[in-house]
Amino acid sequence: MLDGGESFTTPDGRTIGGVLMEMKHITLRFGGVTAISDISFDIREGEIRAIIGPNGAGKSSMLNVISGFYKPQEGEVFFRGEKRGPVKPYQVAREGIARTFQNIALFEGMTVLDNVMTGRITHMRTGLWRQALWWGPAQAEEVENRAQVERIIDFLEIQAIRKTPVGRLPYGLKKRVELARALAAEPKLLLLDEPMAGMNVEEKEDMSRFILDVNDEFGTTIALIEHDMGVVMDLSDRVVVMDYGKKIGDGTPDEVRANQDVIDAYLGVAHD
Amino acid sequence: MPDKSPQAAELISIPALLARNARKYGAQPAYREKEFGIWQCWTWIEAAEEIRALALGFLALGVEKGDYVAVIGRNRPALYWSMVAAQKVGAIPVPLYQDASAEEMAYVLEHCGARFAVCGDQEQVDKVIEVQETVHGIEHLLYLDPRGLRKYDHSRLHAMREVMTEGRAAQGRLEGELKAREAALGYDDTCVMLYTSGTTGKPKGVVLSNRNIIETSKASSEFDRLRAGDEVLAYLPMAWVGDFIFSIGQAYWNGFCVNCPESPETMYENLHEIAPTYFFAPPRYFEERLTILMIRMEDASRFKRWLFHTCLNFAKRVGPKILDGEPVSAWDRVRYRIGDILVYGPVRSRIGMSRVRVGYTAGEAIGPEIFEFYRALGVNLKQLYGQTEASVFITQQPDNEVRADTVGVPSPGVELRIAESGEVFYRSPGVFVEYYKNPDSTASTKDPDGWVATGDAGFIEESSGHLRIIDRAKDVGKMADGSLFAPKYVENKLKFYPNILEAVVFGSGRDKCCAFINIDLTAVGNWAERNNIAYGSYQELAQHPQVYAMVQEHVEEVNAGIAEDEMLSGCQIHRFLILHKELDADDGELTRTRKVRRGLIAEKYDDLVTALYDGSGEIYTETEVTYEDGRKGKIRATLEIRDVAVVGADEPKMAAE
């Protein structure tokens, strides 16, 4: 049922639309190392798509290809039906793709509020000087952006740390602030690089809840990389499994779980 | 209609008070809530309009006169409105504790037979839906915050906003009915039903009439000269009688503004921003605030520390006197004024008490040092003694007669009587109507003349006329040698130490007293950090020998204090242990209002109690714990038991034989 191009409704009542992003025969090499070899898959509008795999499988490289940071040697990337040429990161951001990082990349000395405000950069139209002088349209624009940021702060329940410098926050909260910043850009496609790495069970559950709520409330398409199989299987609509740069499985969590190659990759096979 | 009070011929219900406030204080703020980082404000006219729309919506949904409407969530203006809107259509609001588990909620919802429930957010909606598997009375569910609820079946689930819109749309059709329902509200009709947490048994539904609430609000407002223009912060559970009296009863009677925090975590910050003029908090809150302040001061520079402590020591001598209007020399006044500019003012502002005219604490005994600290800073902190059954007020301290060890004089309109057994009885216009569907309990608590047993033992101090509470009447017992056993009295003395969070003392019918101790993780954790003591968990810290030594010192000091009181010298603690887990309401060890459930604890930790009395030096134990999401787990620990020096232990015993 997932092969057709038309939209459908999931059992829990969400609408999954047509293809938002398509990767065709992607191969990525670093010198002699082939990080990704000939991988194709798509991401549909409104779904939660997971990329999983053991360490070194090429997951983060794949995410960097999606975000336009790495340029694959072979293969094509289609976003909203258009083939993507050589792009700069800021162009990708303008297209409506936002991401979080595996090793949190926030401005440690700035407050949570200011960090999240930076996520609005693509929505700011006035120039540097007007903003610096807080003059004319810059004023109205800031109020508008701040209102949007406050909605996200409320949504992710981080009101209590609004004015706290990020450097003082514990790890789990920093992750949440990063998510807030990515959301502030109002992305069409949200890329999450190991959103739950290093968290305890309770923090993982909170984060899962927020990811589901984001998808539900804003209709954001989410592509995430994750180590924790249990979390992925509960969260995602479809899963791509990678191992040594190759795609070894693709489908719903149930299909993937039953896939022998996936089981072998995760549990290992006896070599005789 | 039965008799009306002459001063307030029309003001016989909360909706009537609302109508008066909309007329009299129309453009003044009635509610504020911080949302999206900004304080949003509703005037009395706006609030009245929102409440009217919601009441019309209730009618459209089919709320009947006499229905029970459950209200569950954190303090938010819209939830207060839903209570008043329910009253407007002749229904009875039943606020529930939002941290109650689904089982606890099921009991209450079934008992009151609520047909409607108003929930704050998804968490509460989920619980009510879960409850509906066994309780089928709920017909419609309203919610405030739509997050996460989009996919839910909306056939019986409604966003409050939509209910209000529908109400407004149906105005023409329902206006007449609403007017008629509101006009039919009588002074002796039920105003609200509140479930008491109860240290024993199932919760009981306390029925309070309009008369109870309004008479009490009126008398207590006059006592403390509350007025329109006062500000309160509503942050205590809505299911608690105090919040109903402060945030609805007194707020509507006086027409003052109720402020709701942005989230529970931002409460301190919001308190600082609002700076209420009238403030209530349990002793625990004041303790916490003081602990945090002292910890922060430790990190300040040496000069600031010196300044802080010098000023504070001076303030402890002079501050309370100035507050009570006692004579103070001009020179001291000048010095206090300087201290006020340098230290007291900034500290008051930091803790959100720069404008407090009337501050109350109640529920538990408060440590004299803590009490004195706030009064020294110039905060008019007083104590009151009350119960749900009394619509809060039984006794309270007048402005110039404030002391740490009494709970004050009878509130206006309250009569007090001390029974032979020492139990305190009262009678007042605020005395509850009945326990809902529980005539037996009603009869055993309230006699035909209207006297209510408090369940507390106490006496009236002859010199001042103030009431002093010793302990829960049923907890006051006799030890094996016949001497008086008052566990709460001892526990409170222990809890006055910042390092001790909770204590449970055993000894009724035994030859000596022993205790369980819970350490306070904030205070002891900070102490450990300063003393380079590494620990990985609460359990590990609790069992650290140096922590034991410190607690032992505290216990010995308490023993010395108790020994001075002849009547209670038998209550000195001979042996103690530090528990491996914090006592928790989720495990049923504390009530939702954080009172110790002595009986249950003794049963649950039976092995530990036995070890306390059989002289063993340590004990291995396994305890089941309930996590926040309801799952259960086990923790294992080997606990040390320590003997403590007792003052003058042998002589009185010998004499008794």
Q: Same domain, yes or no, for B397 and B539?
A: no
The two tokens of residue B64 are: 């009947």
Residue B175: predicted pLDDT? 94
DSSP string, B431-477: ---EETT-HHHHHHHB-TTS-EEEEEEEEE-TTT--EEEEEETTT-E
* Closest to B45 measured CA to CA, from B84, B82, B18: B18
Tell me the chain B residues in contact with residue A154 when contact means C-beta distances shorter than 8 Å.
Answer: 35-36
Mapping DSSP to helix (H, G, I), strand (E, B) and coil, where does residue B593 land? coil
Q: Which of B148, B151, B265 shows the shortest C-beta gap to A160?
A: B265
Cα of first residue to Cα of last residue in chain B, in angstroms, is 66
Residues in chain B: 657
B216 domain residue, yes or no: no
A227 CB within 8 Å of a chain B CB: no
Cβ of A151 within 8 Å of Cβ of B266? The answer is no
Residue B656: predicted pLDDT? 37
Cα–Cα distance, B543 to B533 (Å, whole number): 12
Residues 6+ apart with CB under 8 A from B122: B143, B145, B147, B148, B149
Residue A43: predicted pLDDT? 93
pLDDT, tens only, A213-238? 899 888 899 999 987 778 888 899 99
Residue B487 dihedral angles phi and psi, to the nearest 5°: -60, -40
Burial, B654: exposed, middle or buried (Cβ in 10 Å; 0-12, 13-18, 19+)? exposed
Q: Same domain, yes or no, for B96 and B137?
A: yes
Q: How close B598 comes to chain A (CA, Å)?
A: 31
CA distances from A106 to A155, A199, A203, B139, B652 (A): 19, 18, 19, 48, 68
Interface test with A, best of B147, B267, B627 (most A CBs within 10 A): B147
A108 CB within 8 Å of a chain B CB: no
Return the minimum-mean-pLDDT range out of A130-144, B34-48, B114-128: A130-144
Tally Cβ neighbours within 10 Å of residue B631.
Answer: 8
Residue B651 has pLDDT above 60, yes or no: no
B224 domain residue, yes or no: no
> What average pLDDT does this structure show over A249-266?
86
pLDDT, tens only, B225-239? 999 999 999 999 999
Per the model's pLDDT, the better-predicted residue between B657 and A270 turns out to be A270
A151 CB within 8 Å of a chain B CB: yes
pLDDT, tens only, B295-335? 888 889 999 999 999 999 999 999 988 888 888 899 999 99
Per the model's pLDDT, the better-predicted residue between B42 and B617 turns out to be B42
Tell me the chain A residues in contact with residue B36 when contact means C-beta distances shorter than 8 Å.
Answer: 147, 150-151, 153-154
Q: Same domain, yes or no, for B441 and B520?
A: no
> What average pLDDT does this structure show over B95-122?
92
pLDDT, tens only, B182-205? 999 999 999 999 998 765 578 899
Q: Same domain, yes or no, for B499 and B373?
A: no
| Half-sphere exposure for B530 (CA within 13 Å, toward CB) | 10
> What average pLDDT does this structure show over B365-381?
88
Band (A272; pLDDT cuts 50, 70, 90) = low
Residue A269: predicted pLDDT? 64
Tell me the chain B residues in contact with residue A145 when contact means C-beta distances shorter than 8 Å.
Answer: none
> What average pLDDT does this structure show over B162-191?
95
Question: Residue B537 in contact with residue B546, Cβ under 8 Å?
Answer: no
Residue B616: predicted pLDDT? 86
The chain B residue lying nearest A14, using CA atoms, is B151
Residue A162 has pLDDT above 70, yes or no: yes
Residue B596: predicted pLDDT? 84
Cβ of A213 within 8 Å of Cβ of B35? The answer is no
A201 CB within 8 Å of a chain B CB: no
Q: What is the CATH number of the domain that holds B394?
A: 3.40.50.12780
Q: Same domain, yes or no, for B517 and B435?
A: no
Mean pLDDT of chain B: 90
Cβ of A213 within 8 Å of Cβ of B148? The answer is yes
> What average pLDDT does this structure show over B363-367?
81
CA distances from A107 to A67, A88, A112 (A): 21, 22, 9
Mapping DSSP to helix (H, G, I), strand (E, B) and coil, where does residue B408 land? strand
The chain A residue lying nearest B268, using CA atoms, is A160
A213 CB within 8 Å of a chain B CB: yes
H helices of chain A, where? 59-66, 89-95, 112-118, 128-133, 137-155, 171-184, 201-218, 229-235, 253-258, 260-267
The chain B residue lying nearest A214, using CA atoms, is B148
B247 domain residue, yes or no: no
Question: Residue B479 in contact with residue B507, Cβ under 8 Å?
Answer: yes
A144 CB within 8 Å of a chain B CB: no
CA distances from B133 to B61, B128, B197, B599 (A): 22, 9, 24, 31
> What average pLDDT does this structure show over B509-534?
90
Cβ of B265 within 8 Å of Cβ of A155? The answer is no
Burial B494-533 (b: 16+ CB within 10 A, else e): bbbbbbbbbbbbbbbebebbbbbbbbbbebbbbbbeeeeb
B223 domain residue, yes or no: no
> What average pLDDT does this structure show over A63-91?
88
pLDDT, tens only, B53-106? 999 999 999 999 999 999 999 999 999 999 999 999 999 999 999 988 888 899
Tell me the chain B residues in contact with residue A150 when contact means C-beta distances shorter than 8 Å.
Answer: 36-38
> What average pLDDT does this structure show over B406-430?
92
Tell me the chain A residues in contact with residue B151 when contact means C-beta distances shorter than 8 Å.
Answer: 12-14, 216
CA distances from B547 to A34, B524, B533, B556, B557 (A): 58, 8, 10, 14, 16
Cβ of A159 within 8 Å of Cβ of B37? The answer is yes
Cβ of B37 within 8 Å of Cβ of A213? The answer is no
Annotation: CATH topology of A8-96+187-267: Rossmann fold (3.40.50)
- Packing angle of the helix pair A201-218, A171-184 (nearest 10 deg): 10
A217 CB within 8 Å of a chain B CB: yes
Question: Residue B147 in contact with residue A213, Cβ under 8 Å?
Answer: yes
**ipTM for the complex shown:** 0.79
Q: Same domain, yes or no, for B482 and B459?
A: no
- Taking one residue from A and the other from B, the number of pairs with CB-CB distance under 8 angstroms is 37
Q: Same domain, yes or no, for B432 and B533?
A: no
> What average pLDDT does this structure show over B13-17?
96
- Packing angle of the helix pair B171-183, B160-169 (nearest 10 deg): 100
Last residue of a domain, one of B183, B209, B235: B209
Residue B230: predicted pLDDT? 96
Q: Same domain, yes or no, for B170 and B289?
A: no
Per the model's pLDDT, the better-predicted residue between A182 and A269 turns out to be A182
Q: What is the CATH number of the domain that holds B578?
A: 3.30.300.30
The chain B residue lying nearest A150, using CA atoms, is B36
Per the model's pLDDT, the better-predicted residue between A55 and B177 turns out to be B177
Q: Which of A159, A202, A216 shows the shortest C-beta gap to B150?
A: A216
B243 domain residue, yes or no: no
Widest CA span of chain A, in angstroms?
74
Tell me the chain A residues in contact with residue B126 when contact means C-beta distances shorter than 8 Å.
Answer: none
Residue B3: predicted pLDDT? 44
Cβ of B263 within 8 Å of Cβ of A12? The answer is no
Q: Same domain, yes or no, for B464 and B483?
A: no
The two tokens of residue B333 are: 């006044």
Burial, B146: exposed, middle or buried (Cβ in 10 Å; 0-12, 13-18, 19+)? middle
Sign of dihedral through CA atoms A234, A236, A238, A243?
Answer: negative
Residue B142: predicted pLDDT? 97
Question: Residue B467 in contact with residue B460, Cβ under 8 Å?
Answer: yes
In single-letter form, the type of residue at position B137 comes to: G
Residue A15 has pLDDT above 80, yes or no: no
Burial, A61: exposed, middle or buried (Cβ in 10 Å; 0-12, 13-18, 19+)? buried
CA-CA-CA-CA dihedral for B466, B471, B472, B477, to nearest 10 = -130
Tell me the chain A residues in contact with residue B148 when contact means C-beta distances shorter than 8 Å.
Answer: 209, 212-213, 216-217
Q: Same domain, yes or no, for B70 and B105?
A: yes
Cβ of B36 within 8 Å of Cβ of A150? The answer is yes
Residue recorded with tokens 């002891």: B524
* Closest to B15 measured CA to CA, from B43, B55, B42: B55
B586 domain residue, yes or no: yes
The two tokens of residue B402 are: 């404030």
A14 CB within 8 Å of a chain B CB: yes
Percent of chain B clearing pLDDT 70 (strictly above): 96
Residue B653: predicted pLDDT? 40
* Closest to B260 measured CA to CA, from B590, B417, B40: B40
Number of domains observed in the structure of chain B:
3
Residue B652: predicted pLDDT? 44
Burial B7-35 (b: 16+ CB within 10 A, else e): ebeebbbbbbbbbbbbeebeebbbbbbbb
Cβ of A154 within 8 Å of Cβ of B35? The answer is yes
Residue B447: predicted pLDDT? 92
Residue B655: predicted pLDDT? 37
> What average pLDDT does this structure show over B567-578?
88
Q: How close B629 comes to chain A (CA, Å)?
A: 10
The chain B residue lying nearest A160, using CA atoms, is B266
> What average pLDDT does this structure show over B592-610?
86
Q: Same domain, yes or no, for B313 and B462?
A: yes
Cβ of A159 within 8 Å of Cβ of B148? The answer is no
Phi-psi region of B630 (alpha: psi -120 to 50; beta: other; left: phi over 0): left
Q: Which of B37, B38, B151 shows the shortest C-beta gap to A13?
A: B151
- Packing angle of the helix pair B14-24, B44-61 (nearest 10 deg): 140
Last residue of a domain, one of B150, B174, B209: B209
Residue B1 has pLDDT above 50, yes or no: no
Burial, A122: exposed, middle or buried (Cβ in 10 Å; 0-12, 13-18, 19+)? middle
> What average pLDDT does this structure show over A40-45?
93
* Closest to B151 measured CA to CA, from B131, B177, B129: B129
Residue B88: predicted pLDDT? 96
A164 CB within 8 Å of a chain B CB: no
Residue B649 has pLDDT above 60, yes or no: no
Question: Residue B639 in contact with residue B622, Cβ under 8 Å?
Answer: no
Residue B2: predicted pLDDT? 43
Domain with B572 in it: 477-656
Tell me the chain A residues in contact with residue B273 when contact means C-beta distances shorter than 8 Å.
Answer: none
The two tokens of residue A160 are: 């209590």
